[in-house]
């Protein structure tokens, strides 16, 4: 029982640290529209196809009252979802369960006038190649 309590306390204490490591974000010097256009252009410019753009900020704003909240999380926030056939095949040939990470996403968000571009982090190993691709796309969008 003592081990269980200790393990639970350690897991609880580690929660916020793990949550802080879930995304890589960069501040963008410009408007939300400029950031979104830059991300879209950087993705398409690499020959990748955007499968879907999730207008997450719009959804959160529209449904806030429905879920009993009055907190504004983002002025605007979009997530660009896409895949790389070549890279996806490569990482899934190493481990087919890497399918759980596909499609890949890059988000653009306006939080109280601060524009950011980012992506979620991926596990160590072969998925770091995907993370490197996402970072390269974001860096290109930041130029």
Per-residue pLDDT of the chain (143 residues; tens, 9 = 90+): 444 333 333 333 333 333 457 999 999 999 999 999 999 999 999 999 999 999 999 999 999 999 999 999 999 999 999 999 999 999 999 999 999 999 999 999 999 999 999 999 999 999 999 999 999 999 999 99
DSSP 3-38: HHHHHHHHHHHHHHHHHHTSEEEEE-SS-HHHHHHH
As given in the structure block, the two tokens for residue 25 are 């974000």
DSSP assignment string, 90-138: HHHHH-GGGGGG-SEEEEEEEETTEEEEEEE---SSTHHHHHHHHHHHH
Distance (Å, whole) CA 31 – CA 5: 48
- Domain boundaries along the sequence of the chain: 22-142
C-alpha 137/C-alpha 13 separation (Å) is 34
Calpha distance 65→132 (Å, rounded): 38
The total of other beta-carbon atoms located within 10 Å of residue 81's CB is: 16
Which residues touch 45 (CB under 8 Å, ≥6 apart)? 140
Q: In CATH, what class is 22-142?
A: alpha beta
Res 21: pLDDT:
77
Q: What is the pLDDT of residue 7?
A: 38
| Predicted local confidence at residue 92, as pLDDT | 97
Which has the closest alpha carbon to 98: 78, 84, 117?
84
pLDDT the model gives residue 20: 55
């Amino acid at each position: 029982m003592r081990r269980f309590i200790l393990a639970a306390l350690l897991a609880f204490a580690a929660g916020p640290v793990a949550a802080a490591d879930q995304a890589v974000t960069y501040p963008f010097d410009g408007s939300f529209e400029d950031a979104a256009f830059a991300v879209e252009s950087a993705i398409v410019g690499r020959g990748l196809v955007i499968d879907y753009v999730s207008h997450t900020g719009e959804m959160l704003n529209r449904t806030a009252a429905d879920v009993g909240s009055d907190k504004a999380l983002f002025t605007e926030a979009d997530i660009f979802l896409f895949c790389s056939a070549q890279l996806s095949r490569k990482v899934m040939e190493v481990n087919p369960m890497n399918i759980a990470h596909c499609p890949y996403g890059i988000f653009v968000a306006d939080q109280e006038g601060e524009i950011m571009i980012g992506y979620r982090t991926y596990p160590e190993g072969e998925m770091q190649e995907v993370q490197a691709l996402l970072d390269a796309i974001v860096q290109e969008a930041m130029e």
